[in-house]
Amino acid sequence: MEIDQKLPQVYIDQYQCFYESGLKSIFDLVHDEAQMSKQIALEAIGKIAEEGRFLASIENHQNAIAELAKKAMEHEVTFTIDLMPKSRPKIWLEGYLNINWELGSAEIKAIPHKPQLSAIPGHINIYMRQYPSIKIEYVGNNFDKTV
């Protein structure tokens, strides 16, 4: 029989869990901040263009500047609840166990024998332990002679 094994090693990759929780590597942090900055810049350009069109059509709006100021003062607060992390860690194992064996055979050398029996025959003694009898004794002369 041959046994070949590599002891198991457990690997746990929590990269995605940490990433979702905000614990990012410097490269991921720079990349995400750059993407968020681009998005904020595009939203700001859109807002400025919209306000410019609004001011350009001032003949349709009497108090355009006051309306823009009022709109700028409105601030919507959003509140969200989130659970972290959303994904599970990646877990994998490395290791193996190989067992190689060859089937063997059993060699049995048996000599059959007739059974040897020895028995003591049982016996029963039947006897009367006590014979039935009745014994009546009269004590004294106390007879009633009148009938």
Residue 127 lies inside a defined structural domain of this protein: no
Considering the chain, what percentage of its residues have pLDDT values greater than 90? 41
Residue 25, in any domain of the structure:
yes
Residue-range definition of the domain harbouring residue 35: 2-100
Enter the pTM of the model.
Answer: 0.49
> Is 131 within a domain?
no
Q: How confident is the model at residue 143 (pLDDT cuts 50, 70, 90)?
A: low
Question: Is position 132 within any domain?
Answer: no
Residue 7 predicted with pLDDT over 70: yes
**What mean pLDDT is predicted for residues 86-103?**
92
Mean pLDDT (the chain, rounded): 88
pLDDT digits (tens, 9 = 90+) for 33-53: 999 999 999 999 999 999 888
DSSP per-residue codes, 82-115: --S--SPPEEEEEEEEEEE---------------
Q: Domain count of the chain? A: 1
